Amino acid sequence: MRVVAKFLLFAGLAAFVVGCASGPSAAERDKQVCAAFETFWDTGYEGPPPSPEMVAASRKLDNAIKHGDDKELTAAAQAVIDGVLSTPPLKSRAAAKGYISSDTFKSVTAVVEPNDRLVESRCDQLGRHING
């Protein structure tokens, strides 16, 4: 009986140690969302096709979102990605001007702006300020 008790104690302790060292904490994963969001936000985008830098920034943010713990943070970051990447090709000044005055732009902005503010607020709470 004592051997079983010692074994269970050892197994429980080992599981605890492995669980503690198994990866970043929830807060660290959320800070990774913040860092990836900042990289995404700071990467230039003028509509499709995305540059290799935007593809890399989007993938990094997608991956961080998948592993983030704060569901409001990750949903807001995803809404910003979706809104930004919905931008049509803006190859000319006239195309950009037309898009900015469109109802589509207004509806995308109505989604992106509050979600951007939510991400920045959550990241500030985590101590990971976004320079933007």
In this prediction, residue 17 carries a pLDDT of: 47
Of the candidates 132, 123, 111, the residue with the CA atom closest to the CA atom of residue 31: 123
Q: Any residues with CB less than 8 A from the CB of 77 and at least 6 apart, and which?
A: 33, 37, 61, 64, 65, 68, 115, 119
Q: How many Cα atoms sit within 13 Å of 56 on the Cβ side?
A: 7
Helix axes 103-125, 26-42, angle to 10 degrees: 140
pLDDT tens digits, 39-95: 999 999 888 999 999 999 999 999 999 999 999 999 999 999 999 999 998 888 998
Residue closest to 80 by CA, chosen among 40, 125, 124: 40
pTM of the complete model: 0.80
**Cα 8 to chain centroid, rounded:** 40
Q: Burial-class residue 46 by CB neighbours within 10 Å (0-12, 13-18, 19+).
A: middle
Q: Which of 37, 17, 18, 34 is nearest to 26 (CA)?
A: 34
pLDDT tens track for 88-132:
988 889 988 999 999 999 999 999 999 999 999 999 999 999 986
Segments making up each domain of the chain, as ranges = 25-125
pLDDT digits (tens, 9 = 90+) for 30-47: 999 999 999 999 999 888
pLDDT of residue 9: 52
